[in-house]
Structure 1
Amino acid sequence: MTPRELVARIMARAEAEGAPAPAQPSRRDTFKVGDPDVQITGVVTTGMSTLDVLRRTVAAGANMVITHEATFFRDDDIPDFLEGDPIYAAKVAFAREHGVVIWRDHDLTHRMRPDQMFEGQLKLLGWTADAAPPEQRMPVVTLPKPMSLERIVRHVVEKTGVTSYRVAGDPKMQVRRVAVGVGYAMPSFQVAPDIDVIVGGEAAEGSDSQLPTYDLAAFAVDSTALGQPRGLVLLGHMGTEDIGMQVVADWIRSFAPEIPVQYLPAGEPFGAPL
């Protein structure tokens, strides 16, 4: 099987499972480098196709990488701003030298029902999302019994293994309802009126972009000052979306058993504070 044939099978399976069709062709979910018509020797799924992941892919005897996030340092993966850059050139040269093909699986994972990124994060944290209408993509979890924000943080850090994270809110506040986000896919405190804490990846500190956001940390601080404690836990992009690509690996194995597929986490780019 070739990478092009595998992607066609992935798309057909997603459609059969009820994933809604994209409103327009994805600029993200395309081949980034390599010949999509070579024979696959093995597939690696990962949160981000870093050079380290490419090296580990070659060492594992695989030649196709399915990555959730960008290969070339920008969301649209268009490398025109990198012309002449030696880092970009070295990464492309390595992939070509070793015959590595990279395909991005971003928009499809989020179109799946359930969203494969949220599915992976919920499984990792050992949480079950409350029942919700289909239009509510961001899961909300009602904990079996209240926990302090401090205990929540210890739990999610232990489960994800992240060493770099940020927390806003009173560590002693009691938490019963948690909204879960992944990457920049972040719920707001307006998802439900009784959300105590958001556990997610990354959040902009307010923007007026096409998808406007507000400063969740500042909102939590002011809400706490007014007597309604709120908390925010940010685990980073790979701390929330790497694991979703293990779900993707398991899913691909279920309908392409003839191809060896393994999950190689990219890992967070940040180390523990010095």
Structure 2
Amino acid sequence: MQKENPSHSRREFISLSGKVLASAALLTSSAGVLASHQEELNVGQIMDAFIKEVPGSPFEKTVDTLKSGDRNIKVKGIITTMFATIDVINKAIALNANFIIAHEPTFYNHADETAWLKNDDVFNYKMDLLKKHNIAVWRNHDYIHMHQPDGVRDYVVRRLGWTKQYDTESWVADIQSSSLQTLIMHAKKSLGIKQLRYIGDPRQVCKKILLMPGAAGGQRQITAIGSRKPDVLMCGEIQEWETAEYVRDARSKGDKLSLIVLGHIPSEEPGSAYMAEWVKQKFPAIPVKHVGAGSPFSFG
């Protein structure tokens, strides 16, 4: 989701591999050793430290609230992720981490309203799991997007290798000319995407890339296309009846415009890795690990 509007911008127990068990032992061991050198911090202190860095904070209206737990929980370890899925929660339990910093909603709607879910089996299972293990979940969406730099877009640009070519004001990367097919392959490799959707001629020469991670919305995507005149819009996700249809009509009109839809999670998951790096730098004594939520989709 884009930076301008901070108020806008989702499974059975896992089998723990030897690698995860080893990581759990290492994380637990590190927590024990390092805690002796630094006073224990609580959830609220870590939240406040990040929020304090954001221009204009704290925001009067924001979705960046605690979804479970409370500010006074003493932090043993932190997991950063796009979605606090049940799988991610179980990994946190295995790693002895009791604070999850997620970028997107925990309970299936933007504001994490839960009254409509009070009798839902999936919601109650998930909430009971969090309560049983006293795990705090904080959504860091509006603040990380308004952070300087935008923690999501900054890491996406880094992964794509466009740091020098990307302009933070226009959201445009002027890259070395390549075909649309080459650009698609580069995006898949850089962001770890198995499959993505696109509109355009694979042979089209592309140089000017409009990069809009997440779900900016059709009007903002289309308006940005109109003002920036890119060769390609590369975005996280779309409403299929909005941006896709605009691009189709633009191509029928004769415009050399293409669209690459990365998927919401691949286009913003790097922001959670950014958050893990921030914790490591600010609170080096607290064990932290980025755990990718992964895509829920299979492709037939």
Closer, same or farther in 2 for the Cα pair 1:22/1:34, shift >3 Å?
Answer: closer
Structural RMSD (CA) = 1.6
Aligned residue number for residue 268 of structure 2: 241
Structure 2 match to 1:251: 278
* 2:209 corresponds to 1:178: yes
Q: Deviations over 1:112-162 (max 9, x none)?
A: 1221110111111111243454xx4xx210012x11111111111122222
Most deviating of 216-225 and 71-80:
216-225
Percent identity reads: 28
Between Structure 1 and Structure 2, the one with more helix by share is 2
How far apart are 1:47 and its partner, in Å? 0.7
Aligned residue number for residue 115 of structure 1? 150
Q: Distance in 1 between matches of 2:135 and 2:101?
A: 11
Q: Between Structure 1 and Structure 2, how many residues are aligned? A: 254
Q: Displacement of 1:231 after TM fit?
A: 0.8
Equivalents in 2 of 1:158, 1:54: separation in Å? 28
Q: Is the Cα–Cα contact under 8 Å of residues 188 and 195 in structure 2 kept in the other structure?
A: no
1:270 aligns with 2:297: yes
Flag the 1:53–1:4 CA change in 2: closer, same or farther, 3 A.
same
* Structure 1 residue 163 displacement after superposition: 2.6
* 1:67 paired residue number: 102
- 2:47 match: 7
Residue 98 of structure 1, CA deviation: 1.4
Task: Give per-residue Cα distances to partners, 1:152-179, cap 9 Å, x unaligned.
Answer: 1111112222234211111111101001
- Does structure 1 retain, via aligned residues, the 8 Å contact 2:80–2:272? yes
1:220/1:229 contact within 8 Å kept? no
Report the 3-state secondary structure (helix = DSSP H, G, I; strand = E; otherwise coil) of the residue aligned with 1:76: coil
Cα deviation, residue 109, structure 1 = 0.8
Q: CA deviation at 1:23?
A: 5.3
One-letter code aligned to 2:185: R
Identify if the C-alpha distance between structure 1 residues 32 and 125 changes in structure 2 by more than 3 Å, giving closer, same or farther.
same
Secondary structure of the residue aligned to 1:180 is strand
Q: Which amino acid aligns with 2:281?
A: S
* C-alpha separation in 2, matches of 1:191 and 1:257: 43
Cross-structure match for 1:97? 132
Report the CA distance between 1:223 and its aligned residue. Answer: 2.0
Query: Counterparts of 1:204-243 in structure 2 under 5 Å?
Result: 204-206=239-241, 215-243=242-270
In structure 2, the partner of 1:127 is 162
| Displacement after TM superposition at 1:80 (Å) | 1.5
In 1, Cα distance between the equivalents of 2:167 and 2:192?
Answer: 28
Please state how far the C-alpha of 1:204 moved relative to its aligned partner. 1.7
Counterpart residue number, 1:140? 172
Contact 1:164–1:270 (CA under 8 A) maintained in structure 2: no
| Equivalent residue number for residue 212 of structure 1 | none
Matched, 1:56 2:91: yes
Return 5+ residue gaps in structure 1 as ranges. 207-214
Alignment of 1:35-46 (within 5 A): 35-46=70-81
- Cα contact 1:164–1:236 (8 A) shared by 2: no
Q: Which whole-Å CA distance do the structure 1 matches of 2:226 and 2:148 have between them?
A: 23
Worse-matched range after superposition: 250-259 or 97-106: 250-259
Structure 1's 69 and 62: CA in aligned 2 closer, same or farther, altered over 3 A?
A: same
| 5+ residue gaps, structure 2 | 1-40
- The TM-score, its normalising length taken from structure 2, stands at 0.80
In structure 2, what residue type is equivalent to 1:169? G
